[in-house]
């Protein structure tokens, strides 16, 4: 799912969080975590292109994934879920931990559904096992551009 849609979904989740909990930190954290994992696409771009100066077209279209045939996306990983809950619970309490963890999981689930990837692609251990090669992570690999639907 494109980041703009994660942001819109985040606004909806944050609104629901505020209406149901009246908890401002939970509301803000829910909104942030609904789109924040997509910042790892910048990490992939830097690794692929070996530059800190992005080409906006190449970054926003995901062309660098086609050019380099690897997908790292380190913030997209179900394995992070317990850590997100534990750290958030320790710092901000159970309500915030619950809402942010649900927002994070919803981000991963919507990406899995809306991108032409195999479900296991959201497991960083599986991506590592497959050496982060796009051909093993994407369905219809030859015509795939990740995260641009």
CA dist 145 and 148 (Å) reads: 6
The predicted model scores a pTM of 0.88
User: Which candidate, 85, 86, 115, places its Cα nearest to that of 102?
Assistant: 85
What is the Cα–Cα distance from 48 to 132, expressed in whole angstroms? 12
Report the C-alpha gap between 80 and 70 in whole angstroms: 21
10 Å CB burial of residue 138 (0-12, 13-18, 19+) is: buried
Q: What pLDDT shows up at residue 144? A: 46
Question: Distance between CA 7 and CA 33 in Å, rounded?
Answer: 9
Distance CA 29, CA 103 (A): 9
Tokens of residue 135, six digits: 């051909």
pLDDT, tens digit (0-9, with 9 covering 90-100), for 98-107: 999 999 999 9
What would the pLDDT profile of 12-52 be if each residue is shown by its tens digit?
Answer: 999 999 999 999 999 999 999 999 999 999 999 999 999 98
pLDDT tens track for 43-93: 999 999 999 888 888 888 888 888 899 999 999 999 999 999 999 999 999
Supply 148's token pair.
Answer: 């641009």
Residue pair 75/36 in contact by the 8 Å Cβ criterion: yes
């Amino acid at each position: 799912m494109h980041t703009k849609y994660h942001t819109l979904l985040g606004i909806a989740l944050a609104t629901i969080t505020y209406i149901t909990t009246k908890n401002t930190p939970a509301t803000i954290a829910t909104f942030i975590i609904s789109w924040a994992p997509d910042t790892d696409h910048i990490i992939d771009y830097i690794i692929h292109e070996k530059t800190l100066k992005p080409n906006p077209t190449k970054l926003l279209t995901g062309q660098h994934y086609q050019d380099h045939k690897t997908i790292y996306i380190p913030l997209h990983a179900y394995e992070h879920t317990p850590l997100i809950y534990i750290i958030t619970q320790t710092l901000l309490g159970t309500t915030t931990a619950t809402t942010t963890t649900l927002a994070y999981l919803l981000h991963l689930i919507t990406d899995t559904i809306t991108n032409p990837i195999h479900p296991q692609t959201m497991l960083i251990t599986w991506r590592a096992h497959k050496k982060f090669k796009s051909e093993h992570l994407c369905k219809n690999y030859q015509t795939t551009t990740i995260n641009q639907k």
